[in-house]
Structure 1
Amino acid sequence: MPAHTHDHIDWADRLAHLRAADALDAVAMATAARRLVAALPPRPTIVDLGCGAGGMSTHFARELAALSGGTVVLVDATPALLEEAERTVADKHAAQGRGPVQVHAILGDLADTGLPHTLPPADLVWASHVVHHLADQQAAVGTVAAVAKPGGLVALAEGGLDFRCLPWDLGVGRPGLENRMLAAQAEWFIGMREGIDSAVPMPYGWPVALDRAGLTEVDSFGALVHHPSPGPDSLADYVVNRIDRLREFAGDQFTAEDRTTVDALLDPDGPHFVGARRDLYLLGAKTIHCGRRP
């Protein structure tokens, strides 16, 4: 039975896609983890809020193991994701056979203003693409900041550049389908936000939100994800799942012609099946916004 979420998305059902995304993001996010951990004191505590399948925390654990060790705390409101994250981080850390890194999993909801009282004070609080799913994003940023100890670092991965994976002309339908798919995704996102109970607008950017939460030294940096064609073996399945999700969530935004094109791309027995293409790629960027709790 799916866990309750504020955005009405069954995140447990998206576990396979989250795993695939973590694998494709691994090089870029490992670099980001190294940069963040380098700014922490010895044996730090890192809290991953909305940990998903645990991809980022595996990088944190690896960085801590290479240094003096530390603690990684996984937090998610979806039990299936939390279990997967705990297993993934523990398995990958055990395989390394290095360093005293403790891993703890805590079921918790970032929308709960009392959450910081249930978590250990953190040297680094990480929250990736979770705050924008909550009704009051500014309040959620304040909750994230409250998990950090004084002097602790807060890092939000939000925004960035839309990921692209398709050539302009697919040989079926009108060229430029991906541009229209991304526009449909944007409309779906607006509808998702409007469908959240008691949603509060946040008409400013994430650095301003960090500043309003009382953080100092606010800054941002990017993490480039780039897999040139033909890409790794897992890329084709990822693209198929990505297009299928867009058809499900944003299909009513497509024209009849584009719906026909998407159906052709997803037909494994058809001549235009996107999973059989050798010209797929993945290019995009994540933006990480940081600040320190005074």
Structure 2
Amino acid sequence: MGTVWCVAAHTHDGIDWTSRLASLRRAAELDADAIRVIARRLVRTLPDNPTVVDVGCGGGGMAVALVESLTARGGGTVVLVDAVPEVLDAAATAARSAATYENDTPTTTVRVRPVLADLAAERPADIAGPAHLVWASRVVHHLPDQRQAVADLADALAPGGWLALGEGGLESRCLPWDLGIGEPGLQDRLAHARAEWFVRMRESMPDSVRLPAGWNTVLTDVGLVDVTAFSYLVDHPAPAKPAVREWAVRQVEWLAEVGADRLHAADRHALTRLLDPDDAAYLGRRDDVFLLSAGTVHLGRKP
């Protein structure tokens, strides 16, 4: 649901994010209301004309929300950082479309600056700092050395600036307990298979370093103060609108792909039916799919 860090077409995590761009944009649309609330909360205490950095801008949802929030308080600069050109271009286009033009001139109250960069190889402070706010949602866990990545993001902050990490929360859910085909509880088994895939993904990542601590501990360890967190809910209940059904189909497709070798044959058969537009069980036509997830944002301030 949210923004994802990308560091090449096939990234350090081996994921082809370019092929997932449509899914990222669809998720950004469904998360938009929650993300707007977060953006307003994060920018309201910043100084006038602040610089805000969106690291791993993904579908552009937070980029748009940051532009809107900065416009409402008088302007600023939004720096978008990603290393997949197609992803960066999509986010920049969305952000620029949200910028307010003054007197129909090309001067905007919010400047949008896209930066193509791999933060596993380049220092954020050199390409985007000093920043009054750095937003990094579901980004750091895709980088080889997560603690070092957080330290590098903290270095990009101006004194008094805030680092906001969107990490953790609760797994997105979209399926009822009993779908009428296969064994009940398919969503839980998909979540378990995804967790196993994630462990393997991290283990197979070149130069991967484990992070045996919570994000609040990491923020404190890298020298940030006033460390805290809050959580937010994304809730699109059944009966689902078409956009939610489309999201659910693509989400289950992805879960089936990454968990294929960890699922029982009966579950794989059920998934084939759920993802087949010609099958009566097709998710895209069901009124009982939904979207429910909870994300957590961890905050720390540079002294």
TM exceeding 0.5: yes
1:21 equivalent in structure 2 = 27
1:140 equivalent in structure 2 = 149
1:198–1:120 CA distance, 2 compared to 1 (3 A): closer
In the alignment, the residues of structure 2 paired with residue 112 and residue 150 of structure 1 have an alpha-carbon distance, to the nearest angstrom, of 24
Q: 1:163 aligns with which of 154, 164, 172?
A: 172
2:123 equivalent in structure 1 = 114
In the alignment, the residues of structure 1 paired with residue 265 and residue 25 of structure 2 have an alpha-carbon distance, to the nearest angstrom, of 32
In the alignment, the residues of structure 2 paired with residue 119 and residue 30 of structure 1 have an alpha-carbon distance, to the nearest angstrom, of 23
Q: CA offset at residue 41 of structure 1?
A: 1.2
Q: Which amino acid aligns with 1:11?
A: W
Equivalences for 1:209-288 in 2 at 5 Å?
209-288=218-297
Matched position secondary structure for 1:173: coil
Q: 2:58 aligns with which of 52, 56, 67?
A: 52
1:201 maps to 2:210: yes
Structure 1 regions of 5+ residues with no counterpart? none
Q: CA offset at residue 112 of structure 1?
A: 2.3
Report the identity percentage.
47
Q: Which amino acid aligns with 1:141?
A: V
In the alignment, the residues of structure 2 paired with residue 119 and residue 270 of structure 1 have an alpha-carbon distance, to the nearest angstrom, of 49
Matched position secondary structure for 1:158: strand
Matched position secondary structure for 2:184: coil
CA contact (8 A) 2:39 2:65 kept: yes
- How many residues align? The count is 293
1:175 maps to 2:181: no
In the alignment, the residues of structure 2 paired with residue 54 and residue 84 of structure 1 have an alpha-carbon distance, to the nearest angstrom, of 7
Q: Which amino acid aligns with 1:214?
A: G
CA contact (8 A) 1:50 1:110 kept: no
Equivalences for 1:66-105 in 2 at 5 Å?
66-94=72-100, 100-105=109-114
Query: Displaced runs of 4+ in structure 1, greater than 6 A?
Result: 95-99
CA contact (8 A) 2:71 2:110 kept: yes
What's the TM-score, normalizing by structure 1?
0.96
Moved more, 70-79 or 92-101: 92-101
Moved more, 118-127 or 135-144: 118-127
1:3 maps to 2:12: no
CA contact (8 A) 1:51 1:75 kept: yes
Q: Which amino acid aligns with 2:64?
A: T
Q: Which amino acid aligns with 2:40?
A: R
CA contact (8 A) 1:64 1:99 kept: no
RMSD: 1.6
